[in-house]
Amino acid sequence: MALPTEIIGGRLIDGSSFLPTSKMLMNQRVGMVKRNQFLGSPVLVPSQQIRRQEQLKRAVRAPVAAISEDIIKTNNKTTVPEKAVNFKVRAVVTVRNKHKEDLKETIVKQLDSLTDKIGRNVVLELISTDVDPKSKEPRRSKPAALRDWSKKSNLKAERVHYTAEFTVDSNFGVPGAITVINKHQQEFFMESITIEGFACGPVHFPCNSWIQSKKDHPGKRILFSNKPYLPSETPAGLRALREKELRDLRGDGKGVRKLSDRIYDFDVYNDLGNPDKSVSLTRPSLGGKTIPYPRRCRTGRLPMDSDITAESRVEKPLPLYVPRDEQFEESKQNTFSAGRLKAVLHTIIPSLKATISAENHDFSGFSDIDILYKEGLLLKVGLQDEIWKNLPLPKVVTKIQESSEGMLKYDTPKILSRDKFAWLRDDEFARQAVSGVNPVSIESLKVFPPKSNLDPEIYGPQESAFKEEHILGHLNGLSVSQALEENKLFIIDYHDVYLPFLDRINSLDGRKAYATRTLFFLTPLGTLKPIAIELSLPPAGLNSRSKRVVTPPMDATSNWVWQLAKAHVCSNDAGVHQLVNHWLRTHASLEPFILAAHRQMSAMHPIFKLLDPHMRYTLEINALARQNLINADGVIESCFTPGRYCMEISAAAYKSSWRFDKEGLPADLIRRYIY
């Protein structure tokens, strides 16, 4: 384009005061000496014109600015230029490579590098926050392809930077979104985009998303800048894109989801059982009016042959659907798998001891457990190879090792390394109530004796069997009423959680459980002391003894009764911790909030930006739990006392006690400790 002549003068500026500030700034920009290598066709002021300008500056004392000659002066009036000035800006795109690629991925990557040279590349388009007044559509740049993809395809760096050059005009405004089309065969992970060359400075796009191939998702992928907007404050150029992106994320609720999809939809827990495999693996659906439960992410798989209300299962090693950006990244997958291996080995020790040891017998005493730490478990010859082959990532073993003699050996827990019999002591039992794996069940005792909320016509009298004579000798001279007033009494109450399920649990082979209540006294030293345990069973008749109170021992015989009572409390505690406080309150209850956030709040929403880092990976973890942990005959059912009724206990707790406004701090502490 021809270099425009710069006209400077106070009268002209006064006459053009109606021009938008942004447009004047842009004209200043194109009238300045080239300062940015990414600006195309910069305007250079000729030397003779500079001298003319200096003369005018001395003659005119009014404020001055550079105005393009494209603004035509007619009868001392100015008009907006008919043609805007074009210039160029650059995008720097950061793509994250995988650490390890399989053979198929490597081959496809090489094919993509070849086809990129003939135009099957990654194409970006820049979208303004402003709307063109003529077309009523957002202003857009010309499409631009990523450069040097084929040249950099063999780079082994974790992050590879590519560039693209956009042509925009001076009326473009501020970029607010970018669309991406991936014409390659393989997806790639786009970490970020930075746009350089605008007067407003660099514009950043934190993508952190997989960009799917056009053959999988023909539409353009929309990515927004890091500037947050409430829905009512969304610039005109981004409103339609914001709504389109949300519609894409919601889906239509139909069909089977592909692993490459990014659709967030709701469903009930109807995929935990496997009735096609065995009638004994039938499990009820959780969610809805019959058995209320939080929703999970919908996968849309076909129903079971034997039960059309149950969704067919996907077993390991096949992956379970979650939206593509919710799946583990490579480093997270390795960390999770290593921890999972360790957990699996811990949970299978009892069955290993019973079925594959050289002696082929069950634990006969505590000494057998000690041997696991001191000597290890002697496996049958050749069997250890089969075990490692069937476990996930067999080479990722840290603290659990297989010795050269075929021993499966465990490191000694820290508490046992300090005191071998610490687990038998009352002070350790009480310490774990507030400092163990489940410190959120203990609460101050507000009424003595405590009462049940269960229906008395079904489950018997609501009053506990605790009497004052059971605890008076352990209150340091206080009466029960004084101890209550001074907040000296605490309780862990699992009565209502377990009692409705005890008949069914105790009918299972090898299972025995009570519903427990445990009272603690706060000593003058500031430590807790267990002073009474109540063991309850459902009433078997009018004269049946369904409740029993056990107190600290006075002799050797009562000592072991007390130890067994504490063991039942620990069994209850482990089940409630895993099924209610961990799975339900942490994982399951959060999943519908994650789905709703993606469906209703744009990535531009300021609340979404705050929540997103905390929601990441939860859907993937929950999907893996449905596949291996909480499913019928999974790890939880196999290792916890309630067995096949584990998830029904979780659902019962959700129905009876879960409240959104009481789950977080400080509400939870206030509920448990303050009258």
Per-residue pLDDT of 82-127, as tens digits, reads 577 899 999 999 999 987 888 888 899 899 999 998 889 999 999 9
- Answer yes or no: is pLDDT of 36 > 70: no
Per-residue pLDDT of 138-182, as tens digits, reads 999 999 999 999 999 888 888 999 999 999 999 999 999 999 999
pLDDT band at 416 (very low <50, low <70, confident <90, very high): confident
| Residue of 592, 586, 622 lying closest to 267 (CA atoms) | 592
Three-class secondary structure of residue 94 per DSSP: strand
Mean pLDDT of the chain: 82
DSSP string for 373-405: HHT-EEBPTTHHHHHHHHSSSTT--SSSEE-TT
Question: Which of 129-138, 280-289, 355-364, 424-433 is predicted least confidently?
Answer: 355-364
Per-residue pLDDT of 483-497, as tens digits, reads 999 999 999 999 999
What is the token pair recorded at 379?
Answer: 């496996």
Residue type for position 390: N
CB 632 within 8 A of CB 286: no
Q: What is the SS3 assignment for 516-571?
A: EEEEEEECCCCCEEEEEEEEECCCCCCCCCCEEEECCCCCHHHHHHHHHHHHHHHH
pLDDT band at 401 (very low <50, low <70, confident <90, very high): very low
Q: What's the angle, vertex CA 15, arms to CA 83 and CA 9, rounded to 5?
A: 90
Sign of CA dihedral 204, 613, 211, 179: negative
From residue 133, give the alpha-carbon distance in Å to each of 87, 136, 176, 178, 263.
Answer: 20, 5, 17, 20, 34
Q: What is the DSSP letter of 463?
A: B
- Answer yes or no: is pLDDT of 507 > 80: yes
What is the token pair recorded at 446?
Answer: 């507000």
Q: What is the DSSP letter of 269?
A: B
Q: To the nearest whole percent, how much of the chain has pLDDT over 90?
A: 64
pLDDT band at 403 (very low <50, low <70, confident <90, very high): very low
What global pTM score does this model have? 0.80
Which of the pair, 2 or 210, is modelled with greater confidence?
210
- Answer yes or no: is pLDDT of 658 > 60: yes
pLDDT band at 348 (very low <50, low <70, confident <90, very high): low
User: Looking up tokens 């019962």, which residue turns up?
Assistant: 652
For position 613, what pLDDT does the model report? 92
What is the token pair recorded at 172?
Answer: 């473009």
Q: What is the DSSP letter of 578?
A: I
What is the token pair recorded at 190?
Answer: 């786009």
- Answer yes or no: is pLDDT of 2 > 70: no
User: Looking up tokens 């399989």, which residue turns up?
Assistant: 102
Cα diameter, the chain? 115
Residue 401, beta-bridge partner list: 409
**409-425 burial by CB neighbour count: b if 16+ within 10 A, else e?**
bbeeeeeeeeeeeebee
pLDDT band at 331 (very low <50, low <70, confident <90, very high): low
Three-class secondary structure of residue 242 per DSSP: helix
**β-bridge pairing 221-224 and 175-182:** antiparallel
Question: Which of 8-22, 124-138, 264-278, 312-326 is predicted least confidently?
Answer: 8-22
pLDDT band at 365 (very low <50, low <70, confident <90, very high): confident
For position 130, what pLDDT does the model report? 96
